[in-house]
Amino acid sequence: MTREEICAKRYDALEAFSLPGRFVSCEKYGSGHINDTFLVITVNSGIEKKYILQRMNGDIFKDPESLMNNIVLVTDFLKDKIRARGGDAARETLNPLRTPDGKPFFKDSLGSFWRIYDFITDAISLDRVRDAEDFYQSAVAFGRFSGQMADFDASLLTETIPDFHNTPKRYETFEKAVEEDICGRAGFVSEEIAFFRAHKDDMALCKNELDAGLLPLRVTHNDTKLNNIMLDAKTGKGLCVLDLDTVMPGLSIFDFGDSIRFGANTAAEDEQDLSKVSLSLELFETYVKGYLEGCDGALTDEEIRLLPYGAKTMTLECGMRFLTDYLQGDTYFMIHRKGHNLDRAHTQIRLVQDMEKKWDAMTAIVEKYR
């Protein structure tokens, strides 16, 4: 069955949620790599209302009911925090809608799970920063998110993707994909494979620190890409953290690092001209400053010291995941052209190489804020 056929069920989902008003449109939306996202427009008493409809990726999220339970718990918890400080709970966190029988999801006849969120209005999510201020605002907001989640009871959360940022485990999966080579592609990417093999020990460093009890496990977001946050369109300030599918116990340095991997790259994640790819030290410093401010003193000295390692590990891990998916036939990340995952792996490799060149400067920046 094609993705188109699977997504045709979106009209059943819309019906199941019985949105008020007159239906206007339901079009593909956003640039996420995982779920099928649609912008829904309705009109009620002459007033336009927008929603985000998503088909959760059932190959990746094996237990969508528990996932939605996580999201309801997290968003309810955040709403209380937002209200307590006089904020607007309708705009500053996701609001999952319920079906008439009270469920925050709908299961269609093909077995896909769907959800609807209120659309966050007068706000923007960006694939690239327009200027350093955007990045600073996203850093403060992601840092604040982790501060808000500090007293959330992690035992309530289902681990939606086990070992999500267990980088050594990701390495094993990568080696298995190379060995099995089900698409016969490994021969074309021997240099790329050698690159990740040469970085095997680097990829274990943060996990070793965690296992040794030197880094605390916190409730983290785990997918802190720039387009997983909304900025207020008028003020430019960080407004709402999106994509809560992977909120699980994790490392703060990985939340920091994933943001750097995506947002401090001077090129897009899938840029084909690798001469455009580099780490912007200006954006790196901006994010360090904003993230530490957002976390408001919560990070330990060791977490701060290891921020550059978080950035390097997340870039290595993500690059290796893209290459693994390329080897396995592009079944995980959504692709929009042939070789898309390989292009993405290439940018991550180039970014790691640039981080290695700029390592002393990255360390010096972090020392300034320690």
Pick from 137, 222, 228, 246 the residue near Mg ion by CB under 5 A. Answer: 228
Chain positions 304 to 323 lying near ligand GN1, rule: CB under 6 A, are: 318
Which CB, 210 or 241, lies closer to Mg ion? 241
Q: Which of 13, 14, 34, 316 binds ligand GN1 (CB under 6 A)?
A: 34
Nearer to Mg ion, 148 or 228 (CB): 228
Token pair 């460093």 in the structure block, residue:
205
Contact between 345 and 322 under an 8 Å Cβ cutoff? The reply is: yes
Q: Does 223 bind ligand GN1 (CB under 6 A)?
A: yes
Nearer to Mg ion, 42 or 246 (CB): 246
Told to check if 117 binds ligand ADP by CB under 6 A, we report yes
- Nearest distance from residue 228's CB to Mg ion, in Å? 5
> Following CA atoms 271, 272, 276, 279 in sequence, which dihedral angle do they give, to the nearest 10 degrees?
50
Compute the least distance from the CB of residue 125 to ligand ADP, in Å.
4
Pick from Mg ion, ligand ADP, ligand GN1, none: which does 295 bind, CB < 5 to 8 A by kind?
none
Query: Nearest distance from residue 335's CB to ligand GN1, in Å?
Result: 12
Those residues with Cβ within 8 angstroms of residue 37's Cβ, 6 or more apart along the chain or in another chain: 28, 29, 30, 52, 53, 54
- Cβ 52 to ligand ADP, closest distance in Å? 4
Q: Report, in Å, the least distance between residue 242 CB and ligand ADP.
A: 5
The label of the residue with tokens 């267990």 reads 166
Q: d(Cα 236, Cα 133) in Å, to the nearest integer?
A: 8
Alpha helices in 199-339 (DSSP H): 200-211, 252-263, 281-295, 301-305, 307-327
Residue with the two structure tokens 């292009």: 343
Amino acid sitting at position 341: N
Contact of 116 with 38, CB cutoff 8 Å:
no
Residue from 92, 134, 192, 243 touching ligand ADP (CB under 6 A): that is 243
Binding of residue 330 to ligand GN1 (CB under 6 A): no
Q: How far is the CB of 77 from ligand GN1 (least distance, A)?
A: 21
33 interacts with ligand GN1 by CB under 6 A: yes
**Residue ranges binding ligand GN1 (CB under 6 A):** 32-34, 223, 225, 228, 243, 245-246, 258, 269, 318
